[in-house]
Amino acid sequence: MYRIRVFGDPVLRKRAKPVTKFDENLKKTIERMIETMYHYDGVGLAAPQVGISQRFFVMDVGNGPVAVINPEILEIDPETEVAEEGCLSFPEIFVEIERSKRIKVKYQNTRGEYVEEELEGYAARVFQHEFDHLNGVLIIDRISPAKRLLLRKKLMDIARTVKR
Ligand code: ZN
């Protein structure tokens, strides 16, 4: 199990570095992240959220856990939809976010093999959310300043819990 890093922790704002070693250590880290994601009832968890500034995440949108390493979004459909999202790094905050309905992605699995996929709906949404984490982008960056202002107190309360 990992401790989840919450809003205010500087690691969440860093641009994560590519994964270069596809070794046992990476597999163990991914297993631990999957365990942590399930423990907190998450559908996705990115490495920076457990303090690891590297480009990978895990997700499970109902078809079992998937590890996504060094992801790229190759195509992004201009058609979007709005839906509510939460984030384990923002406990008790839910915001409506507009995202593309369909994306074409490429990533590596734990063996380092390349995978290309087309995702839509919920899977596309979760992928985009986790992908954002690898670039230091958070859900509050995808809402209007007015909505962000309404969350100010909650955000300050979360940031105050960050262990330094
Ligand atoms: Zn998140």
What is the 21 CA–ligand 1 centroid distance (Å)?
A: 24
What is the 59 CA–ligand 1 centroid distance (Å)?
A: 11
Does 87 appear as a known binding residue? yes
Q: What percent of the chain shows pLDDT beyond 90?
A: 98
Nearest to 151 by CA among 164, 162, 163, 138: 138
Does 129 appear as a known binding residue? yes
pTM: 0.96
What is the 49 CA–ligand 1 centroid distance (Å)?
A: 8
- Say yes or no to pLDDT of 120 above 90: yes
Judge whether 48 and 133 are in contact, CB under 8 Å: yes
The mean pLDDT value for 111-133 works out to 97
Average confidence score pLDDT of the chain = 96
Q: Quickly state the pLDDT bin for 115 (edges 50, 70, 90).
A: very high
What is the 3 CA–ligand 1 centroid distance (Å)?
A: 14
- CA dihedral over 25, 9, 126, 157, signed as positive or negative: positive
The mean pLDDT value for 90-102 works out to 96
Cβ burial 97-110 (10 Å sphere, 16+ → b, else e): bebbebbebebbeb
All structural domains of the chain, each given as residue ranges with its CATH number in brackets, are 8-160 (3.90.45.10)
Active site residue 130: yes
Instruction: Collect all residues with Cβ–Cβ distance below 8 Å to 30 and sequence separation of at least 6.
Output: 56, 58, 67, 110
Distance CA 164, CA 160 (A): 10
Nearest to 80 by CA among 101, 60, 63: 101
Which residues make up the environment of ion ligand 1, defined by Cβ < 5 Å? 87
Does 39 appear as a known binding residue? no
pLDDT one-digit tens code per residue, 38-91: 999 999 999 999 999 999 999 999 999 999 999 999 999 999 999 999 999 999
What is the 34 CA–ligand 1 centroid distance (Å)?
A: 14
